[in-house]
Structure 1
Amino acid sequence: MKSNRRNVIKTLGAASTGLALFGGANLVSACGPGKKEQSAEASSEEKAAALFFNISLAQWSLHKSFFGDGLSSWENFGKLWDEHPDKVLQGVLNPVDFPTIAKRDFGINAVEYVNVFYYSKKNDLQFWKDLRKQCDDQGVKSLMIMCDREGNLGDTDEAARTQAVENHYGWVDAAKILGCHSIRVNAAGNGTAEEVKTAAIDGLGRLTAYGQDNGINVIVENHGGYSSDGQWLSSVIEEVASDYCGTLPDFGNFCVEGGHGNCIREYDRYRGVKELMSFAKGVSAKSHDFDEEGNETHTDYERMMKIVKDAGFTGYVGVEYEGNVLSEVDGIKATKKLLERVGKA
């Protein structure tokens, strides 16, 4: 998913699950398995029982395989997107098959979707019912939809902010059909920290009210700009003051000034995650590179997961691989293996 997401509409120079692609500048019950599947599922559950958390897969981990040549350059991506969002989907994998891929190829039974892979399907209720059936048939749980390119919930222009709020309604509806607990949004906007904070509290508050009516949380990821300041974002969530509004702490999206590959100033990631864990309804385990011992070279996973555990979190930690050295498949497996090793320790 997502090193994060920075409004591809205006600038396509940053690259990561949402900031790079899509954020703002300032930002079930399954069908009964057969006997073989039952034993495999039990084995998976026994393994998870040794951890204090569960493991999920963020769809962005496979974005190169879904986009293919559609992401040959950011300029090309933007051109294709403007023609029709489905035109960027030129990869060897079909986003429709994501739940099956997660279970079959990685042994992961919970998934986190990214809306850009289904943008043309937002209001297609039958599509989401069919995807829900696939999940039920595979024994895969849908957790959230990560939403980008729908406007800035912290836009200081009231009309634009209202439009952004309403643009997210369709994703709340889709999440409800899938059985998700949340949609992930961006607290983005342009202006001073206080101006964007005031706007974000209003935008998030209104969207959260719609989410609550449908039993869906609205959660915010640290995704660049102001949102990557843990203190700023936690104060926004605190003032929204709703059990249906929370956070999705990401281990790697803490650039508060500058862009991907050119970060001028970065917020301390360990402090940031600690500040956001009080409101966390999920955790995003960002990974890029690994050393010979299998440790992530940018984030001390043992230190980070201790912060997660000390916060009393026992939910899902999503694998979100964004590296360029390992293949997407190997990167996902390496991240999952590291989470299992650190979790048991």
Structure 2
Amino acid sequence: MNRRLFIKNTATAGFALHFLGSKFIPDIFSVDDTSKPFFKLSLAQWSLHDAIFSGRLDALDFPKKAKQLGFGAVEYVSQFYNKQAEDATAFKKLIGELKTQSNSEGVRNVLIMVDGEGALAAADEIERNHAVANHRKWVDAAATLGCHSIRVNLYGGPEHDTAAWKTASADGLTKLCTYAATQKLNVIVENHGGLSSNAALLSDVMQLVNLKNCGTLPDFGNFCIQRQDNGTSSNACINEYDRYKGVTEMMPFAKGVSAKSYDFDSTGNETTIDYLRMLKIVKSSGYTGHIGIEYEGQRLGEEEGIIATRELLMRVAKEIK
């Protein structure tokens, strides 16, 4: 991801810090019925990835931290628990601890974002099947936690052959969804780079799978199809799908929505994403589920960025009632 220099004392930072300083902890939906948005809010664990990777925050304490920040629902990220996931006994203990803490805090577990478990869209069927098998433990974990979904990626396959990619993607998803159905769980795909960020192609995959527990997780910001030198997220994007068109195309299949944010101007608006336009698209689809906040900026600290994103969502939601 692109990193920006951290600059203190901006108007948005001051606004966010006001809430932190006053210990703004109560449930934001408890004010009154007329103040409620059309969606529910959740906090994506990736918003706190710097704190977790640095050791300032234990990944096990994520539900407690989310509650302290005023959230009643959370979205986990598998890579923060990779070490425990290597051992079945340790993994079972981990999931039990997360369930105990989330229940204790009164926090709802919404989904697990699964990364690094193989290419579900691999051209080779053996490789796809291996990826499906790797994902099953996360299906089981999500079911134990009471989540409604796991989020997966559609990596692998020849990027130049869209027909082959769609066929392989549909096969991998169908196999995983068939298993997830036994746990009454959804499998949802995020636009997360490569051909998965081509929303028209991803919509075709959804139609090919045609299963009730298969869906999408539209992310407001992840629409780069190709980066310079075919590099990682730190490389410049040279082929980007229209984000508003993409979210519109993905919403008919959406079982979750990710509100990505990077930075804010002096009035509290996201500098690269028109949140008013995005929320109008989401609302017009009839969606009323969780919108997960996923702050990825650097200018504001993680907690300040999370709060700035929440305030923006709440303000814009009132504007489109």
The two structures have a TM-score, normalised by structure 2, of 0.86
Q: 2:176 is matched with which residue: 207, 222, 228?
A: 207
Alignment pair present for 1:121 and 2:84: yes
Q: Residues 257 and 292 of structure 2 are in contact (CA less than 8 Å); yes or no, is this contact kept in structure 1?
A: yes
Structure 1 partner of 2:238: 264
> Secondary structure at the residue paired with 1:275?
helix
Structure 1 residue runs of 4 or more that deviate by more than 4 Å after TM superposition: 39-43
Structure 2 partner of 1:228: 197
User: Hey, what's the Cα distance between the residues in 2 that align with 1:127 and 1:65?
Assistant: 19
CA deviation digits over 1:52-94, x for unaligned, max 9? Answer: 00110000001011112xxxxxxxxxxxxxxxxxxxxxx2110
CA deviation digits over 1:290-324, x for unaligned, max 9? Answer: 00000001100000000000000000000000001
Structure 2 partner of 1:27: none
User: Hey, what's the Cα distance between the residues in 2 that align with 1:45 and 1:56?
Assistant: 17
Deviation at 1:131, TM superposition (A): 1.2
> Secondary structure at the residue paired with 1:277?
helix
- Aligned pairs (5 A) from 1:273-288: 273-288=247-262
Structure 2 partner of 1:195: 164
Supply the AA of the counterpart residue of 1:183. I
**Percentage of pairs with the same residue:** 51
Structure 1 partner of 2:7: none
User: Hey, what's the Cα distance between the residues in 2 that align with 1:130 and 1:222?
Assistant: 30
Long gaps (5+) in structure 2: 4-24
Alignment pair present for 1:102 and 2:88: no
User: Hey, what's the Cα distance between the residues in 2 that align with 1:333 and 1:302?
Assistant: 17
Q: Residues 258 and 294 of structure 2 are in contact (CA less than 8 Å); yes or no, is this contact kept in structure 1?
A: yes
Supply the AA of the counterpart residue of 2:78. N
Q: 1:333 is matched with which residue: 290, 304, 307?
A: 307
Deviation at 1:213, TM superposition (A): 0.6
Alignment pair present for 1:165 and 2:132: yes
Q: Residues 154 and 200 of structure 1 are in contact (CA less than 8 Å); yes or no, is this contact kept in structure 2?
A: yes
CA-based RMSD of the aligned residues comes to 1.7
Q: Residues 218 and 244 of structure 1 are in contact (CA less than 8 Å); yes or no, is this contact kept in structure 2?
A: yes
What number of residue pairs does the alignment pair up?
287
User: Hey, what's the Cα distance between the residues in 1 that align with 2:94 and 2:53?
Assistant: 20
Q: Which moved more, 1:281-290 or 1:114-123?
A: 114-123
Alignment pair present for 1:253 and 2:222: yes
The two structures have a TM-score, normalised by structure 1, of 0.80
- Aligned pairs (5 A) from 1:32-111: 40-41=26-27, 44=30, 46=32, 50-68=36-54, 91-104=55-68, 106-111=69-74
> Secondary structure at the residue paired with 1:44?
coil
Structure 2 partner of 1:183: 150
Structure 1 partner of 2:282: 308
Supply the AA of the counterpart residue of 1:218. V
